[in-house]
Amino acid sequence: MRVAIIGAGMTGLTAARALVESGLDVLVLDKGRGPGGRMASKRLASTTADHGAQYFTARDDRFKQQVAQWIDDGIVDQWHGRLGVISDGRPVPLTDNSVRRYVGRPRMSALTRYLSAGLEISTGCRVARVARTPGGQWTLDDDAGRNIGLFDYVILTVPPEQAAVLLRGTPSLASSVSGTRMLPCWSVILRFEKRLPVKFDGVFASRSMSHQPEAQGTGIRYPLSWVARNSSKPGRAPDECWVVHGSTHWSQVNLEADREFVQQRLTSAFFELLGQPGVAPVEAIAHRWRFARCENPRPDGCVWDADLGIGVAGDWCQGSNVEAAFLSGQAIAEQLTRTVRASQATR
């Protein structure tokens, strides 16, 4: 049984590993240069920085168990950063310290690299067509028109907007994901020559003391949602490196803005937020996440059509974070495995 998984983020890799363990032949396809999706890290001159997912939490028992195993394997560690929220326009300490936050070690992308070990993955491959054959299999083509191969089952773990395009040949599935919407986020990495005199390692810039989401982040004057000292995370190089995330509203308004403008504006907002005089970074990189966070996540974990042998999964099917991505990957793998077993039982 040949399975194609489109997307090599947390969901796709989780599903792939579960299916390989069940004895299936799995090929993971991704348009990027490497696996990881939004669990991404960018290389700088002397360090790396997590410019996508900043950390993750574990609330579901299944995910807690998996995180514990990753910690034992030395690929994940708890981040004890000093965090703050906004009060009267300035950061103050976060009073609730009960949440445990975890990061990949020595970078977020190390976790997905770890999960990809032993899997058959084809990167730099943008799937443009998914079609059903008369024989009941699935054929995939890339954006250059080249055929990728025939598969018995297909799983899409791309954003819903992209999944809907690939599912045009299966209208029922396409309509089930078409109403789900992903929101963008501009990210800027800033590396400085010296350590900044800031007592916080991370600040929820769009969360006020009254816990009203986007209290400070929806306006153009305060365009930030999050800032973090990347070097405070375990296993990182000591370089003074910060990651700045734009708010959803600001990122939407400036979605097609010039990268230099985004870099300058979010850097200025960063110093304004922290009440610090501006210091020129020795290195700065802006990155646009067009599909960063789900506005209206589905509640069902995944969508699977057992008759056709195709389905969709992703954090947007479960929530909108790393844990949701993992659980959705498990859910779609369980659905496909049941379909395979049912098919074998009737032969």
pTM tops 0.95, yes or no: no
Nearest to 303 by CA among 262, 339, 332: 332
pLDDT at 36: 92
* Domain residue ranges in the chain: 1-41+109-179+298-347, 55-107+182-295
Report CA-CA distances (Å) from 191 to 44, 167, 243, 271, 277.
Answer: 8, 42, 9, 13, 16
Which residue, among 130, 126, 75, has the nearest Cα to 104 in the 3D structure? 75
| Coil/strand/helix, residue 195 | coil
The pLDDT tens digits for 153-180 are 999 999 999 999 999 999 889 988 988 9
In whole angstroms, how far apart are CA 340 and each of 149, 154, 259? 20, 13, 47
Residue 1 and residue 24 in contact, taking contact as beta carbons nearer than 8 Å: yes
Which position has the higher pLDDT, 45 or 27? 27
What span, in angstroms and rounded, lies between the C-alpha atoms of 324 and 156? 15
Q: Which pLDDT score is estimated for 97?
A: 81
55-107+182-295 belongs to which CATH class? alpha beta
Report, as an integer, the average pLDDT of 61-74: 98
Model confidence pLDDT, tens digit, residues 204-218: 997 543 333 333 333
pLDDT of residue 265: 96
Instruction: Identify the CATH class of 1-41+109-179+298-347.
Output: alpha beta
51, amino acid identity: H
